[in-house]
Amino acid sequence: MTDNVNSPKLYTSGSIECITAIQAALGDEFKGFLRGNVIKYLWRYQDKGGIEDLRKARWYLDRLIKEECDA
């Protein structure tokens, strides 16, 4: 079964996971990227992805919390 929230195949197909590459490229701006994705998935969940988008928003929020705790 594919897990489109925690391990989307599209973003884990190379030797480095996409989120890791984004973090390396953005540096200090990475937290803003995470916040933006939380907003995006909450914004559209009723019209597009439903529960899956809520889970994606939670994933990005959990990642943002982790980044804040590690700072």
pLDDT for the residue 1 = 67
User: Over the chain (71 residues), what is each successive 10-residue block's mean pLDDT?
Assistant: 72 79 96 98 95 97 97 82
pLDDT for the residue 3 = 76
User: Sign of the CA dihedral 56, 57, 59, 60?
Assistant: positive
- In order of 13, 14, 20, 28, 29, the CA distances from 58 in angstroms are 23, 24, 18, 21, 19
The Cα 49–Cα 2 span in angstroms is: 15
Total-model pTM: 0.82
